[in-house]
A and B are shown apart, each in its own frame.
Chain A
Amino acid sequence: MIVVLAIGFWAGLALKIGIMAAIVPVVALPIIFAELKLSAHMQHRIGPYFAGGRYGWAQPLADGLKFFQKEDLVPDAADKMVYKLAPYLVLGAAMAVFVVIPFGPDLIGRDLDLGVFYALAISSISTIGVLIAGWSSGNKYSLIGGLRAAAQLIAYELPLFLAVVGVVIQAQTMSMIGIIDAQAEYQLFGLEIAGNAIAIPYVFPQFIGFVIFYIAALAELSRTPFDMPIAESELVMGYLTEYSGFRFAVFFIGEYIGIFTMSAIMATLWLGGYDPLFFDLSGLNDIAANAIGALVLFGKVAILVFLMIWMRWTFPRFREDQLQDLAWRILIPLGLANIAVTAFFKVVF
């Protein structure tokens, strides 16, 4: 039991929370900027250009300031209390995942024994935020958007978990650090690969799981081609229709935080996390390992985020029934087969 006056514990906790709170804008703003700039270039536009002097690097900051000075609107037909609560549920659920994301061998909020399970469980709370946002706005487009979002998030939570189970079976742990260490063991199912000279990240043995998780993550994040909940051409802006100003900004940041945390989970589970591909950081001293580890993780996340933005301008939006078909008829059976095959290899070798 922790004694109330144990200053060290509370100071450490406050420090960790402070760092987490500072990390959130630091990771969200570059992703927002990347989205603006990459989308523009993929469409042969220049994109933001003037804000900040060069390349429009300050555009996300300027957007943020614009959101803050807008009037705080609450629709007359809205359920006011629930309407105000919804954005914080979404952002809070997205931020809570940071607790288990390992930026380096020691740079982790808490290496929970349940690691990846915790991350997926806590992020499932954001479904409720989206659903009540749609309902409480008192607008039929919002409601339809919220319902679509909920149906989609429930359907794709299952393949998301099934994809992770393969990795967990192979690594024999759910702890994020444990999974990274398991990938740095220079062997595969106890077999010798390439003279045990290179560490094999799980993206190779678990490629199917990686693809399933990537597709399901796109759907969980409501990214194109799975952006039916906010389909502009049908539903105005779905559950976000009535939100403006600061509350919209909270949803917006929550969305990009979600992109970061999902990419970080993928980088950890399949790409070796803070270890550079095919090698590990065990030869370095603590400070160097943590610094390089954080850079490596951010690099992997950047690649995955780039892929997500690329997909957005490559694929058209699915139809609602195609979305459900993909989840229930293709991804879930494939995920189950992947688990069976992984378990077979694990037991036989």
Chain B
Amino acid sequence: MDFSLAGNWVFLVLAVVITAAAMYTVSTRNVVHAALALVTTMATAAAIVIMLGGEFVGWVIVLVYIGAVVVLFLFGIMITRAQVGKATALDHEGNVRVMAAVVAGLMFAAITYGIVELFGDAQLPEEGVVRTVDIADSMFGRFVIPFEAVSFVLLAALIGGIVLARRDEER
């Protein structure tokens, strides 16, 4: 690694932070702390994506995952079980830690293998920021049918969720 490049130093810091935050997310016994560590993980992931020039995707991660999904997590946790200062038993029974470690290790190996195979030591082009206009053009041009299909599936899931959750008053 070339330590004269600022980008490498930034990546190093981000990598340390994201690893620590991810470990804390799964190891802490306090659900709210876990959610906050998840926020840190997401924010760092967004920062890494932005470093790779994916500005739009990076800020979508911030908006959707930090601004909405984790807020909903926290919301749900707070109206149900989280009491200040109390640790809840979050582990399942049995030897799940080993299984979790194995699954995590396999995932890591698979992703690392995939990335190295695909990209090798390819370099990002200078001025590598992907313009939002280009994303919009490809999303609503070349990929418009997959895009519509995905939104249809999401809509179906949403309606299904409402149907399952809704309790009509009995007459």
* Surface stretch bound by B, among A61-69, A109-117, A332-340: A109-117
| A-facing residues in B55-75 (Cβ within 8 Å) | 55-56, 59-60, 62-63, 66-68, 70-72, 74-75
- In the assembly, what is the distance between CA of A320 and CA of B61, in Å? 30
What mask results when residues 10 to 51 of chain B are scored 1 for a CB within 8 Å of chain A, else 0?
000000000000000000001011001001000000000000
Chain A residues with CB under 8 Å of B85's CB are 77, 79, 138
Contact present for B5 and A128 (CB under 8 Å): no
Chain A residues with CB under 8 Å of B32's CB are 79, 82, 132, 135-136
> With contacts A135-B82, A138-B85 known, is A121 near B62, CB below 8 A?
yes
Chain B residues with CB under 8 Å of A131's CB are 71, 74-75, 78
Contact present for A114 and B55 (CB under 8 Å): yes
A125 is contacted by which of B6, B55, B66, B82 (Cβ under 8 Å)? B66
Contact present for B6 and A6 (CB under 8 Å): yes
> With contacts A3-B4, A82-B32 known, is A120 near B63, CB below 8 A?
yes
Contact present for B129 and A113 (CB under 8 Å): yes
- In the assembly, what is the distance between CA of A173 and CA of B136, in Å? 11
Interface: A124 (CB within 8 A) = yes
Contact present for B71 and A117 (CB under 8 Å): no
Chain A residues with CB under 8 Å of B68's CB are 124, 154, 157
Contact present for B84 and A136 (CB under 8 Å): yes
Interface: A238 (CB within 8 A) = no
Contact present for A82 and B78 (CB under 8 Å): no
> With contacts A113-B132, A138-B84, A138-B85 known, is A4 near B5, CB below 8 A?
yes
Chain B residues with CB under 8 Å of A182's CB are none
Tell me the minimal C-beta distance from B56 to chain A in angstroms.
6
Interface: A284 (CB within 8 A) = no
B78 is contacted by which of A78, A146, A173 (Cβ under 8 Å)? A146
A174 is contacted by which of B62, B78, B132 (Cβ under 8 Å)? B132
The residue on A at minimum CB distance from B7 is A1
Chain B residues with CB under 8 Å of A128's CB are 36, 39, 66, 70-71, 74
**Interface size of B as a range:** 20 to 34
Chain A residues with CB under 8 Å of B113's CB are none
Contact present for B56 and A114 (CB under 8 Å): yes
Interface: B143 (CB within 8 A) = no
The residue on A at minimum CB distance from B124 is A1
Interface: B79 (CB within 8 A) = yes
Interface: B108 (CB within 8 A) = no
Contact present for B55 and A113 (CB under 8 Å): yes
Interface: B97 (CB within 8 A) = no
Chain B residues with CB under 8 Å of A327's CB are none
Interface: A11 (CB within 8 A) = no
A4 is contacted by which of B4, B78, B79 (Cβ under 8 Å)? B4
Chain A residues with CB under 8 Å of B129's CB are 113
Q: Count of chain A residues with Cβ under 8 Å from any Cβ of B?
A: 40
Contact present for A121 and B63 (CB under 8 Å): yes
Tell me the minimal C-beta distance from A332 to chain B in angstroms.
14
Contact present for A150 and B131 (CB under 8 Å): no
The residue on B at minimum CB distance from A174 is B132
Chain B residues with CB under 8 Å of A138's CB are 84-85
Contact present for A82 and B36 (CB under 8 Å): yes
Contact present for B78 and A157 (CB under 8 Å): no
B4 is contacted by which of A5, A122, A174 (Cβ under 8 Å)? A5
Interface: B152 (CB within 8 A) = no
> With contacts A4-B5, A79-B84, A136-B84 known, is A121 near B67, CB below 8 A?
yes
Interface: B147 (CB within 8 A) = no
Chain A residues with CB under 8 Å of B33's CB are 82
Which of A5, A124, A151 gathers the greatest number of chain B CB atoms within 10 Å?
Answer: A124
Interface: A162 (CB within 8 A) = no
Chain A residues with CB under 8 Å of B59's CB are 114, 117-118, 121-122
Contact present for B66 and A124 (CB under 8 Å): yes
With A78-B84, A127-B67, A157-B68 given, name 17 new contacts (CB 8 A).
Answer: A4-B5, A77-B85, A82-B33, A82-B36, A85-B36, A114-B56, A114-B132, A121-B59, A122-B59, A128-B36, A128-B70, A131-B71, A134-B78, A143-B78, A147-B75, A150-B71, A157-B67
Q: Which B residues lie at the A interface, using CB under 8 A?
A: 3-7, 9, 30, 32-33, 36, 39, 55-56, 59-60, 62-63, 66-68, 70-72, 74-75, 78-79, 82, 84-85, 129, 131-133
The contact sample of 8 A-B pairs, CB cut-off 8 A, is A1-B7, A4-B3, A77-B84, A132-B32, A135-B32, A136-B32, A154-B68, A173-B133
